[in-house]
Amino acid sequence: MDQTDITLAALTSANGVTFTPVQIQKLLFLIDMRLAQQTGGPHFKFEPYDYGPFDAKIYRCLESLQHQGELEIIENANLRWKKYRLTPEGIARGQQLLSKLPEDVSEYISRLAFFVTSMSFEELVGTIYKAYPAMKVNSVFRD
């Protein structure tokens, strides 16, 4: 899988959830840290940033998925960040990609997606920092 494919597969595993940027960054980070060998990764070069592991290439993947009609980027004037939601076409292709992975790998990606979407921003960033303290060095977030 390439970067865009793993991004699509990861988002699909959450069954229609709308993601925030931090959730996507942390989900793909965890996939690269825990499942790189099983998914043909690592796919990204995460570096410690304001809120932990970050790779700007993820945003280019999301824009590519939007141009392909597989992702909707939601802007809200009341928020400083965008939200991301798959289209039916994106879900269909994402399910095809997930089906190519071993069942235990796709199930683990689903558990990771649930993990990152079930916590508040503070809980998610704090949990990542506890598990991967090197990703905290440039943080502006104080847990």
Q: Per the omega criterion (within 30 degrees of 0), is the bond before 88 cis?
A: no
Report the C-alpha gap between 123 and 59 in whole angstroms. 23
Taking 90 as the threshold, does the pLDDT of residue 140 lie above it? Answer: no
Taking 70 as the threshold, does the pLDDT of residue 142 lie above it? Answer: no
The residue with greater pLDDT, 96 or 141, is 96
What per-residue confidence (pLDDT) applies to 81? Answer: 84
> Per-residue pLDDT averaged across 118-140, rounded?
93
Residue ranges per structural domain of the chain: 3-136
pLDDT tens for 9-66 read 999 999 889 999 999 999 999 999 999 999 999 999 999 999 999 999 999 999 999 9
Q: Which tokens is 45 given? A: 């070069």
Count of CA atoms in the C-beta half-sphere (13 A) of 83: 12
- Please say whether the beta carbons of 140 and 40 come within 8 A: no
Residue 8 parent element (H or E): helix 3-12
DSSP 3-state of 2: coil
Residue 131 has a CB neighbour count (10 Å cut-off) of 10
Taking 70 as the threshold, does the pLDDT of residue 78 lie above it? Answer: yes
Report the C-alpha gap between 23 and 76 in whole angstroms. 17
- Please say whether the beta carbons of 69 and 89 come within 8 A: yes
Taking 80 as the threshold, does the pLDDT of residue 124 lie above it? Answer: yes
Contacts of 126 (CB under 8 A, 6+ apart): 143
**What's the CATH number for 3-136?**
1.10.10
> Per-residue pLDDT averaged across 105-128, rounded?
96
Taking 80 as the threshold, does the pLDDT of residue 87 lie above it? Answer: yes
For residue 17, give Cα distances in angstroms to 89, 132, 142.
15, 25, 27
